[in-house]
Structure 1
């Protein structure tokens, strides 16, 4: 899902490009004993604000360490800058970058400082570590909050109709029937923005992993397929189910993401398979978003195993070329501490929980963040597959549109996606393909 990963990652961020600035740092301590760390971060506004909050709070607590920040562009241009500077030995001391499968492209064993077993990681939740691990070694700490992938639902609709949050797919479908009878669109779909059609599949991965714990590893090795793994085919079946029952919002084929979010917040649609991180920008226009929209993980057949798929936070890493390793580790330890998350919360309203032990959401956190926290506290989350496997077939969004529109049977859609990822795996030169 290379293209879809990019689109989803972009969708979570509110893009507000800032001027590219660069401040070098001396490798020698200043005459007064201060050390200057260079810190490359992103340029979208949320990332800039988060990075500034972390740097300023850290410098206040550590007067002998100064942090100079520079901002890289987003997307592939920023990726190329990071890879080039790492390969030429010209990277900043610390830097902000993706977690998950994109980490392997940085050749971390050669370019990043290994943090395995380091006190820097003391407060990092165990569930996060796999997405900053390559070759059994841990390289980063979470830079911000996570995002939930699942079903956003209108809580006022639920209250009005006396519905309970479903923990099984059958209960979800029964709720849809009652919602439809009340004249409200049960399931919002926005296939004009094709990437949004993927969420029933992508956000179902918690259920896949619960049924087949080794799926991500075996999938990467070419040992398992979507079409021959019933649990993995489940997301395609969900798409087919809601279409077959006529639960989709009218005009779903031409509707856009913005229209879908508006329908949800206004209560004209009850459910929307989507990312929770897309809600904060709506707060200015629709302040009721904070209280009226809840989050639930895509239900499976077993209520005892109800959980949620999450899009994990990006990470902050230390370049192996740093000449200020102690100071860099001290900064990462601060980032990965309750004090660090409190500094971020004061500057940026969190759209989800932090991956830091002891960090608490503020009382005025939006409802979806509180709902996600419940899943975190239960230990009932899994990273999306794209964080655990480098294989991202580019055609998933076209396949899911066809399945979700009733044009392609779910089993056929799963088989089509297997062929799509096979091309990608062979391009990557993965063993077993």
Structure 2
């Protein structure tokens, strides 16, 4: 899953150094070269920012830069775009390794952040005053050896269930806080002639939510599970807690609780069914709210969100995905370093959050003190915010461990389609994970 998908997917292929360095920069301002730009003819300090090249990424960065430059006319920021997915990931690592990185860049937080050797490659910001305003759970995602290195860029989001509030209200249902309640709700919805659980295996990544979104429940029972998993001391197949996500997926299929067209439906199809009340619950990432409101603008308030429940209502909470962060490489020096620190300070401020909100509707909470969501955000966003406000959330596994096999989405499709059992899929996935962990050179594998 990029920020939805890409940060959870392992690297699939490597580009050669020559090919990476030959990529043409996509700039949103007048020409930019790699690394520090130095001063301009009008005396302003110029810096470059490497971010995504897609339309949304460029619009978000442009909104931040416009607001920043209005407040800092002595600094000019050139935006450069990078490819998505594996190519962009390899480009960042290559530029860091060759000392040719831009003055600032945004990249993953969490376990993938550790893979870019922050102590060696990045400027620590622990002593900057704005670090105190960052959410503590986010700071854990950009900390290495006790030093913080990045500020959040965008909002957090959750892995759970979007649900049709009108269907729930009509049937007198309450948001479930245990798996037993979830199944009971689903059976009541089915009896009313509505598809209880929407699945969209036409886009295979969406099949993973019952497993990935259940990790808060795993961590609640076994706080050290992620560390043990990374050290090859914990497995899905032989752990009755960790395997539950696979088992829940199988149960939904075995009880006929999914939509009839689950095998071919894609994300947009699922959102249309949810908005129309043809389906009641859709396990998905909350940041996909934009797909929902594009398909059905009126659903912004008629669709809500809840965390995937486990066995214990007392520990019910959200599996959270954190935003990317903006970092400064150690190759940024002098006036460019000071200008880059000013940019990070602005991003980690209410003004920076407001600029992002104007560029695109927030899909979850900002993780900076003083940043408020606009009053007209979708109900899904409000519901995700509530889990953060109540401190009932914890990081998804991918923020705690770099271990994720490439075939999870194929296995979850098979389980959800009745092709493979939960136990068999978990065992195969453990084998899949071992290959990937060995490729990463992790200890204990």
1:3-18 equivalences in 2 (<5 Å):
5-6=5-6
Gaps of 5+ in 2: 10-23
Give the Cα separation in 2 of the matches to 1:55 and 1:122. Answer: 23
Contact preservation (8 Å) 1:2, 1:392: no
Partner of residue 386, structure 1: 398
Give the Cα separation in 2 of the matches to 1:424 and 1:254. Answer: 29
After TM superposition, give the deviation of residue 251 of structure 1 in Å: 2.6
Give the Cα separation in 1 of the matches to 2:167 and 2:66. Answer: 43
Give the Cα separation in 2 of the matches to 1:134 and 1:2. Answer: 23
Partner of residue 224, structure 1: 234
Contact preservation (8 Å) 1:4, 1:397: no
- The superposition leaves residues 317-367 of structure 1 with CA deviations (integer Å, 9 ceiling, x where unpaired) of 001111222221121111111221012112211121111122111110011
Calculate the aligned-residue CA RMSD, in Å. 2.2
Partner of residue 149, structure 2: 139
Q: Please, which moves more after superposition, 301-310 or 264-273? A: 301-310
Q: 2:407 aligns with which of 395, 413, 420?
A: 395
Distance 1:250 1:119, change over 3 A: same
Partner of residue 218, structure 2: 208
Matched, 1:326 2:338: yes
Matched, 1:254 2:260: no
Partner of residue 21, structure 2: none
Q: 2:178 aligns with which of 160, 168, 172?
A: 168
Contact preservation (8 Å) 1:2, 1:393: no
Contact preservation (8 Å) 2:208, 2:412: yes
After TM superposition, give the deviation of residue 235 of structure 1 in Å: 0.5
Matched, 1:82 2:88: no
Give the Cα separation in 2 of the matches to 1:55 and 1:254. Answer: 41
Q: Secondary structure at the match of 1:229?
A: coil
After TM superposition, give the deviation of residue 117 of structure 1 in Å: 4.5
TM-score of the aligned structures, taking structure 2 as reference length: 0.90
Give the Cα separation in 2 of the matches to 1:310 and 1:208. Answer: 13
Contact preservation (8 Å) 1:20, 1:73: no
| Aligned residue pairs, count | 425
Partner of residue 354, structure 1: 366
Contact preservation (8 Å) 2:304, 2:383: yes
Partner of residue 153, structure 1: 163
Q: Secondary structure at the match of 1:164?
A: coil
Partner of residue 39, structure 1: 49
Give the Cα separation in 1 of the matches to 2:32 and 2:312. Answer: 54
Q: 2:32 aligns with which of 23, 32, 49?
A: 23
TM-score of the aligned structures, taking structure 1 as reference length: 0.92
Partner of residue 271, structure 1: 281
Q: Secondary structure at the match of 1:271?
A: strand
Contact preservation (8 Å) 1:124, 1:336: yes
- The superposition leaves residues 181-207 of structure 1 with CA deviations (integer Å, 9 ceiling, x where unpaired) of 100000111223222111100011111
Q: 2:352 aligns with which of 340, 344, 354?
A: 340
Contact preservation (8 Å) 2:68, 2:343: yes
Contact preservation (8 Å) 1:2, 1:394: no
Distance 1:387 1:8, change over 3 A: closer
Contact preservation (8 Å) 2:36, 2:102: no
Matched, 1:53 2:59: no
Distance 1:302 1:421, change over 3 A: same
Distance 1:26 1:224, change over 3 A: closer
Q: Secondary structure at the match of 1:148?
A: strand
After TM superposition, give the deviation of residue 5 of structure 1 in Å: 4.0
